[in-house]
Each structure stands twice: as C-alpha cells, then as structure tokens.
Amino acid sequence: MGCVNASDVSWGAPRAERADAARNRRLLLATAREMLAESGPDRLTMDALAERSGLGKGTVFRRFGTRAGIFQALLDDSERGFQEQVLSGPPPLGPDAPPRERLIAYGQARIRFLLEHREIARHSIDGRQNVPTGTQTPLSRAHIRMLLGRIPLGAADLDLLAMQLTAALDAPLLLYVSASALDAAADRAERRLTSGWRDLVDRVCRP
C-alpha cells in the first residue's frame, strides 16, 4: 500500500513528472468533472476545458493527446479505488478467495463500475486507436489472465482466453447495449449482465 507513489525516488527509467504538470493534470481532471456534472459529456470541449481551467489549449492536448484521452484519464482516475479493492480488499473480490469465485466477483464489480461510469466509459473509446495501453482494460485483462492461470483449465491459450473474457465483459456496456437502454433500466441490466457473466465463467471453467 504505502510503498511507491509517483513522487518517490521511483525513477527507474523516465524522469518523474514535473510538479507543475502534475498540478495542472489534477486541475484539469477536476475541472472536467465539474463540467461533466454540470452539462454532460457533449459540452466538454477541449477549448472550454482549457479556458475554464485558465490554461492554454496546447496544455490540454499535451496532457491528454485527444478528446477521448480526457475520458480515459477520468475513467482511469475513478478506477483507482476499484483497483485497490481488487488487489488488496476483502474476498471474494480481493485475494484469499478461490480464483473462480474471484473471477466471478471481479466481473460483477466491473459491471457495476462500468454501469456507474457508463457515460465516461462510452466517450473514452476512440475509433482511431485501439483501447488505451496502460489504463482500464489492460488491467482488466491482466487480472483476468492472472486468475485464469490459477484455475485448472486444460491446455488453453490463456492470454487469448483472457482477452475474450475481457471482451465479453466490457463490450456489451461499451459498444452493444444502447446508452438509452442502459439509462432506462440500469438495475435490470446489471442483474442480467451479472448473472450472464456468472454463467459464462461457469461454462468456461469446467472439465
């Protein structure tokens, strides 16, 4: 837990982020959340964000690269707490639970998380690039991969299987089910996706 954070002597390779840059990133994320809460994702433009933060547009773009990048950063940020639950929280989500149960619990938690942040998650997808490296899904994938490694499955391409399961978990919420349908019946959707995930995992993990 209290081991290594960004401001430590952790410079293994790059050179730690400059102080002003870090401050501005926090400021930008905070401002973005405000704007999001006030007027929804569509009004969150790069120009507006820059102006409202009192920063230049160039800064916003260097930090996030692209519009979708802002949403990725926001999602990433929101995910931190969730990640801690997964890595060191209580079972069945955290360690000290049998891997198959952890896998099911993980899916349930992720579904809830994505539902809760569906707007942001939706907007974090950028057709020009594949899903962001170093954020959201890769961690999902890595975690699922790790759990699969501890479940007795016959010979199998575990990396690929992890990717397939990640897709089965995320894509419905990110791509397939319409946003309006989710808004209309979020509870129902959550129950359905959750039990669907359990079924899928059950099917995949046996003999």
Partner DNA sequence: CGTGGAAACGGACTTTACCCCGTTTATCTG
Partner DNA sequence: CAGATAAACGGGGTAAAGTCCGTTTCCACG
C-alpha closest to that of 109 among 63, 33, 170: 170
Confirm or reject binding of residue 45 to DNA (CB under 7 A): yes
- Residue 203 in 3-state DSSP? helix
Q: How far is the CB of 176 from a second copy (least distance, A)?
A: 6
Q: How far is the CB of 57 from DNA (least distance, A)?
A: 4
C-alpha closest to that of 145 among 121, 164, 171, 168: 164
DSSP for 102-165 reads HHHHHHHHHHHHHHHTHHHHHHT--TTSPSPTTSHHHHHHHHHHHHHHTS--SS--HHHHHHHH
Query: How many beta carbons lie within 10 A of that of residue 83, not counting itself?
Result: 15
Q: From the centroid of its chain, how far is CA 9?
A: 27
Q: Which residues contact 162 (CB under 8 A, 6 or more apart)?
A: 141, 142, 144, 145, 148
Q: How far is the CB of 38 from a second copy (least distance, A)?
A: 19
Nearer to a second copy, 80 or 203 (CB): 203
Confirm or reject binding of residue 80 to DNA (CB under 7 A): no
- Find the binder of DNA among 26, 30, 39, 56 (CB under 7 A): 56
User: Under rule CB under 7 A, which residues in 115-144 are in contact with DNA?
Assistant: 128
Nearer to a second copy, 55 or 145 (CB): 145
Interface residues toward a second copy, by CB under 8 A: 68, 122-128, 130-131, 137, 141, 156-157, 160-161, 163-168, 170-172, 175-179, 192-193, 195-196, 199-200, 203-204, 206-207
Q: How far is the CB of 91 from a second copy (least distance, A)?
A: 25
Residues that bind DNA (CB under 7 A): 15-21, 24, 45-48, 54-59, 61-63, 66-68, 128
